């Protein structure tokens, strides 16, 4: 054994050892409980970053820990390989996206292996390979058959920079999720997945996501955005038309003083004669600037009292939500209020607060009760209350009135109660090259024809031109576009849009279960006894035993930025796949851990802007020598240059230190602040362990000492303390792992054990045995965090079998238990003394010992004891 710890040597040795034996390969084994540990697969952008290091370190600890706990662990990895950066590289540097992508994958795979991650590479998936995206196409066809994939024209979010469409979820603060460019509305024919078909199910099942952070569940619920309300028809006076509106406030129906249509509402054209004005409004549609309206010069009849009210077109009314038309109740809706003020429309109060008039009346009441109160109001009253000026419904409370008025409107045949969702169908068409071709053919005679299943995959052609201008390169590829119709064999052309890359990542966790190159949803085998029977109902395919064995994912780990996007799409896809009969559970991820961001302080030179850490020497910019400003701690990003390159870190300290630091610096769900000194600390810790093992490597060879008991005649007092500490450490580390994966406190416990080991001086043979037991236990507990050094030192101690194949140690509660406890004695809640007493004494004895304590005697002398509280094993509080 070397005296000095050389991480490079140790780590490469064990990585080679693991790879040669393909040690992380797993197969279904019905005799063992499975554990599916999954980290979000990366986009192969070139190199891994610290966010990946953290994400994959967390996942690897869990995988290795569960493996030692006896689970059959599946721990796969792959590549989210379609996407825009590859195409941008092609435009900028002339490299083909495929070449660029596969080269990046090769490099990043090396990096991941260099981190010592325990992946079963026999399950690797690469989404840009035809044997993967074939199944995107297959799912598309299945969904098309079931009406879950459809085409429609609509106003879509368009990113002018990426030159493509974005789904609603992919618009962040009105900008593109990828490049931040302001998104504009554009009318296009698009393919959609009918995710709204599952809206209610996706929402209801949120409550079953017990293993997810509440925050994420809430975000999903809000995104789905269920609301119950009334759809009501307003007849257009003098025309044979009705305008159907949606409202959640049927109780305010008597307060409606006008109605508004979205500019793109089908009736808008009919009602408005001034097309120029209509187009003007359309240009301001969906923009968050001022509210704009256009009077149609037509009127409609309120379904509740046939009152005649004006019809407007308004830019703020969305066609995509509800019916694309609203009734406007300015007294009780702030938006309508602003609109009414601007266009001088009447405002009628029909709901007043329940508690009157003390506390003082809200501003709206200044104008008096009920009636047209088009003055004195400063804001709408949007809360529930009591109805006024609403015919026979006056004096009812809002909640009751909502039901009664809705029933009345329903009774007149002028509406129905409905449920609406904010969730829209998922637009998947992208006008880009580097994605999955949508398997559709347009025939001059037969129209829209799906590509037959046996002709899949529709291969993405390689010989296309990347100009960076205009639309998708596919649209210019004659070879690709021109085809023949599968029905009539006549001239036809292919769809040139490709699929959103979120389609790829919506089922990759299911793909892993098949194994590399073996994805197959068409030849499901019959139920075989060792596995759970697949759910396939009559007529459906049999499903796959591998899928029912491995699914769902037991622990999913990734960034919170996917809280709605990827996670919602995956839940949708998993439902579709379940309904096709391939898996049992509609939920893909039983437990979800959303890890925090990796952050670092930013550095800025007044002249050269953001600086890399290595561009700063002695607080000065290396280029100009000016003093550097220390900025805020922010998420590591290339643009702010506050990054640490994982390659640099691993070359300098090794993978074990890098992993250990990123796990120790903060609990996984919280943001992690980078600290160079912290990394040094982690490195020092591993060096100390190396030193301890080196010092004692030849002591007590071949001994296992699980059965040693403290205070037996052979064991000295100081060694029985070490034995206890060892058992306590097993207990603490195990509990920290089980309790929300709090690795930081688990590592802190290991550090305490190292402190105890390094200050221990063995004097007898028994001491040496206990010391060795302590060291071996330390290595076992450390191995999920820093696996290479643990293997190396384990071997140095003469162990023949891998530490990987060892069982997680168990603690003995009798040994871990303290014999003496420190009793805190408080007087009136303030700590006055601490004494050591035997553990497990009866309350009376504890009380006696506390009162006998001289310091306490001194204070309570001559005072009456009011009460004495005893907390077992901890504290006594004497109230005087």
Contacts to RNA from residues 192-221, by CB under 7 A: 214-215, 218-219
| 246 forms part of the interface with RNA (CB under 7 A) | yes
Find out whether 158 and 186 touch, Cβ atoms under 8 Å: yes
Find out whether 44 and 89 touch, Cβ atoms under 8 Å: no
Nearer to RNA, 527 or 687 (CB): 687
| 324 forms part of the interface with RNA (CB under 7 A) | yes
Q: Indicate which single residue of 181, 248, 467, 484 sits in contact with RNA (rule: CB under 7 A).
A: 248
- From the CA atom positions of the chain, what is the Rg in Å? 34
Of 555-584, which residues contact RNA (CB under 7 A)?
Answer: 560-561, 563-564
Nearer to RNA, 101 or 826 (CB): 826
Nearer to RNA, 475 or 565 (CB): 565
Task: Map 153-178 to HEC letters.
Answer: EEEEEEECCCCEEECHHHEECCEECC
Nearer to RNA, 112 or 409 (CB): 409
**How much of the chain is helix, strand and coil, in % rounded to 5?**
40, 20, 40
Q: What CA dihedral angle connects 98, 103, 109 and 111, to 10 degrees? A: -140
| 3 forms part of the interface with RNA (CB under 7 A) | no
Of 153-192, which residues contact RNA (CB under 7 A)?
Answer: 168, 172-173
Binding segment (CB under 7 A) for RNA, from list 280-288, 453-461, 484-492, 495-503? 280-288
Question: β-pairing, 226-236 with 242-247?
Answer: antiparallel
Shortest distance, position 87 Cβ to RNA, whole Å: 25
Of 687-726, which residues contact RNA (CB under 7 A)?
Answer: 687-688
Give one word for 324, left, alpha or beta, with left for phi > 0 and alpha for psi -120 to 50: left
Binding segment (CB under 7 A) for RNA, from list 33-41, 93-101, 316-324, 475-483? 316-324
Q: Indicate which single residue of 76, 229, 543, 545 sits in contact with RNA (rule: CB under 7 A).
A: 229
Nearer to RNA, 315 or 591 (CB): 315
Site string for RNA, 459-498 (x = CB under 7 A): ----------------------------------------
Shortest distance, position 657 Cβ to RNA, whole Å: 12
Q: Indicate which single residue of 321, 343, 442, 610 sits in contact with RNA (rule: CB under 7 A).
A: 321
Nearer to RNA, 127 or 726 (CB): 726
Of 770-799, which residues contact RNA (CB under 7 A)?
Answer: none
Q: Indicate which single residue of 223, 234, 337, 364 sits in contact with RNA (rule: CB under 7 A).
A: 223
Tokens of 489: 């064999």
Which residues are CB-contacts of 286 (< 8 A; sequence separation ≥ 6)?
155, 185, 315, 318
- How is 90-138 classified by DSSP, letter by letter? HHHH---HHHHHHHHHHHHHHHHHHTT----GGG--BTTSHHHHHHHHH
| 735 forms part of the interface with RNA (CB under 7 A) | yes
Shortest distance, position 436 Cβ to RNA, whole Å: 25
What gap in Å lies between CA 472 and CA 82, rounded to an integer?
14
Of 741-760, which residues contact RNA (CB under 7 A)?
Answer: 742, 744-745, 747-748, 751-752, 755, 758-759
The answer to whether the bond into 674 is cis (omega within 30° of 0) is no
Alpha carbon distances (Å) from 854 to 656, 765, 826: 52, 42, 13
Question: β-pairing, 672-673 with 598-605?
Answer: parallel
Site string for RNA, 823-862 (x = CB under 7 A): -x-x-xxxxx-x----------------------------
How many CA atoms are closer than 13 Å to the CA of 222, on its beta-carbon side?
10
Q: Indicate which single residue of 160, 225, 376, 848 sits in contact with RNA (rule: CB under 7 A).
A: 225
Of 119-158, which residues contact RNA (CB under 7 A)?
Answer: none
Question: Contacts with RNA: how many residues (CB under 7 A)?
Answer: 87
Shortest distance, position 544 Cβ to RNA, whole Å: 35
| Residue that has been written with the tokens 């969305």 in this structure | 318
Find out whether 782 and 750 touch, Cβ atoms under 8 Å: yes
Q: Indicate which single residue of 801, 807, 861, 867 sits in contact with RNA (rule: CB under 7 A).
A: 867
Find out whether 522 and 142 touch, Cβ atoms under 8 Å: no
Q: Indicate which single residue of 60, 80, 333, 554 sits in contact with RNA (rule: CB under 7 A).
A: 333
| 666 forms part of the interface with RNA (CB under 7 A) | yes
Task: Map 357-381 to HEC letters.
Answer: CCCCCCHHHHHCCCCECCCCCCCCC
Nearer to RNA, 122 or 561 (CB): 561
Q: Indicate which single residue of 136, 302, 315, 498 sits in contact with RNA (rule: CB under 7 A).
A: 315
Of 404-433, which residues contact RNA (CB under 7 A)?
Answer: 420, 422
| Residue that has been written with the tokens 């509210």 in this structure | 291
Query: Which of 286, 317, 322 has the alpha carbon at shortest distance from 158?
Result: 286
Of 281-300, which residues contact RNA (CB under 7 A)?
Answer: 286-289, 291
| 814 forms part of the interface with RNA (CB under 7 A) | no
| 241 forms part of the interface with RNA (CB under 7 A) | no
């Amino acid at each position: 054994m070397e005296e000095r710890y050389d991480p490079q040597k140790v780590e490469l040795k064990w990585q080679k050892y693991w790879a040669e034996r393909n040690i992380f390969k797993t197969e279904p084994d019905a005799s063992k409980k499975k554990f599916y540990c999954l980290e979000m697969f990366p986009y192969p952008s070139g190199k891994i970053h610290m966010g990946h290091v953290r994400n994959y370190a967390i996942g690897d600890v869990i995988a290795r820990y569960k493996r030692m706990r006896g689970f059959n662990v599946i721990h796969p990895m792959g590549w989210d390989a379609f996407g825009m950066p590859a195409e941008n590289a092609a435009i900028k540097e002339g490299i083909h996206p495929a070449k660029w992508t596969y080269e990046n994958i090769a490099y990043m795979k090396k990096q991941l292996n260099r981190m010592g991650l325990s992946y079963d590479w026999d399950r690797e998936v690469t989404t840009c390979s035809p044997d993967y995206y074939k199944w995107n196409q297959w799912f598309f066809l299945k969904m098309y058959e079931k009406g879950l994939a459809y085409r429609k024209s609509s106003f879509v979010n368009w990113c002018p920079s990426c030159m493509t469409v974005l789904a609603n979820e992919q618009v962040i603060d009105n900008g593109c999720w990828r490049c931040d460019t302001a998104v504009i509305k554009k009318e296009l024919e698009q393919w959609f997945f009918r995710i709204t078909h599952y809206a209610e199910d996706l929402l209801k099942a949120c409550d079953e996501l017990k293993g997810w952070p509440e925050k994420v569940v809430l975000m999903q619920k809000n995104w789905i955005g269920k609301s119950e309300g009334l759809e009501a028809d307003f007849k257009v006076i003098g025309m044979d038309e009705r305008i159907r509106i949606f409202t959640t406030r049927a109780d305010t129906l008597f307060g409606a003083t006008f109605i508004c249509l979205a500019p793109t509402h089908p009736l808008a054209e009919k009602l408005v004669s001034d097309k120029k004005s209509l187009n003007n409004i359309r240009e301001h549609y969906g923009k968050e600037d001022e509210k704009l309206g256009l009077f149609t010069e037509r009127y409609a009849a309120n379904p509740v009292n046939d009152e005649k009210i004006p019809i407007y077109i308004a830019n703020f009314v969305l066609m995509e939500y509800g019916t694309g038309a609203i009734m406007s109740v300015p007294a009780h809706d702030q938006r309508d209020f602003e609109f009414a003020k601007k266009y001088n429309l009447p405002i009628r109060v029909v709901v007043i607060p329940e508690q009157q008039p003390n506390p003082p009346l809200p501003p709206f009441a200044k104008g008096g009760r009920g009636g047209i109160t088009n003055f004195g109001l400063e804001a709408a009253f949007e809360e529930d209350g009591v109805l006024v000026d609403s015919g026979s419904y006056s004096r009812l409370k809002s909640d009751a009135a909502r039901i009664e008025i809705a029933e009345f409107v329903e009774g007149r045949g002028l509406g129905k109660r409905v449920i609406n969702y904010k969730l829209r169908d998922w637009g998947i068409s992208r006008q880009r090259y580097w994605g999955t071709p949508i398997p559709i053919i347009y025939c001059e005679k037969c129209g829209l024809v799906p590509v037959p299943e046996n002709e899949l995959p529709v291969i993405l052609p390689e010989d296309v031109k990347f100009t960076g201008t205009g639309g998708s390169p596919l649209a210019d590829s004659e070879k690709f576009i021109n085809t023949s119709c599968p029905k009539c064999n006549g001239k036809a052309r292919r769809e040139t849009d490709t699929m959103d890359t979120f389609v790829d990542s919506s089922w990759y966790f299911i793909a892993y279960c098949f194994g590399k190159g073996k994805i197959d949803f068409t030849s499901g085998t019959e139920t075989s006894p060792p596995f759970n029977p697949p759910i396939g109902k009559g007529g459906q395919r049999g499903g796959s035993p591998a899928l029912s064995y491995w699914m769902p994912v037991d622990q999913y780990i990734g960034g919170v930025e996917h809280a709605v996007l990827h996670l919602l799409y995956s839940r949708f896809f998993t439902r579709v796949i379940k309904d096709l009969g391939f898996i049992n559970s509609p939920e893909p991820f039983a437990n979800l851990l959303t890890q925090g961001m990796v952050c670092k302080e930013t550095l800025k030179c007044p002249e050269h802007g953001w600086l890399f850490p290595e561009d700063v020497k002695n607080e000065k910019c290396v280029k100009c020598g000016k003093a550097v400003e220390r900025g805020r701690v922010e998420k590591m990003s290339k643009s702010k240059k506050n990054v640490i390159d994982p390659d640099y870190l691993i070359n300098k300290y090794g993978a074990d230190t890098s992993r250990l630091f990123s796990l120790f610096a903060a609990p996984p769900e919280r943001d992690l602040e980078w600290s160079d000194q912290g990394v040094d600390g982690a490195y020092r810790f591993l060096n100390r362990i190396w030193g301890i093992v080196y010092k004692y490597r030849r002591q007590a060879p071949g001994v296992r000492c699980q059965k040693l008991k403290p205070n037996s005649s052979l064991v000295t007092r100081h060694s029985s303390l070490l034995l206890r500490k060892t058992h306590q450490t097993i207990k603490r580390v195990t509990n920290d792992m089980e309790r929300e994966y709090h690795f930081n406190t688990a590592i802190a416990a290991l550090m305490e054990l190292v402190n105890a080991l390094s200050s221990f001086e063995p004097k007898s043979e028994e001491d040496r045995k206990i010391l060795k037991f302590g060291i071996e236990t330390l290595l076992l507990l450390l191995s999920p965090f820093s696996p290479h050094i643990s293997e190396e030192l384990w071997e140095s101690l003469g162990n023949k079998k891998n530490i990987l194949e060892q069982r997680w140690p168990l603690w003995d509660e009798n040994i871990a238990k303290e014999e003496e406890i420190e009793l805190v004695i408080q007087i009136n809640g303030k700590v006055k003394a601490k004494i050591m007493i035997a553990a497990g004494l009866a309350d009376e004895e504890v009380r006696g010992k506390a009162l006998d304590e001289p310091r306490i005697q001194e204070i309570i002398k001559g005072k009456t004891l009011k009460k004495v509280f005893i907390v077992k094993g901890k504290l006594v509080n004497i109230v005087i």
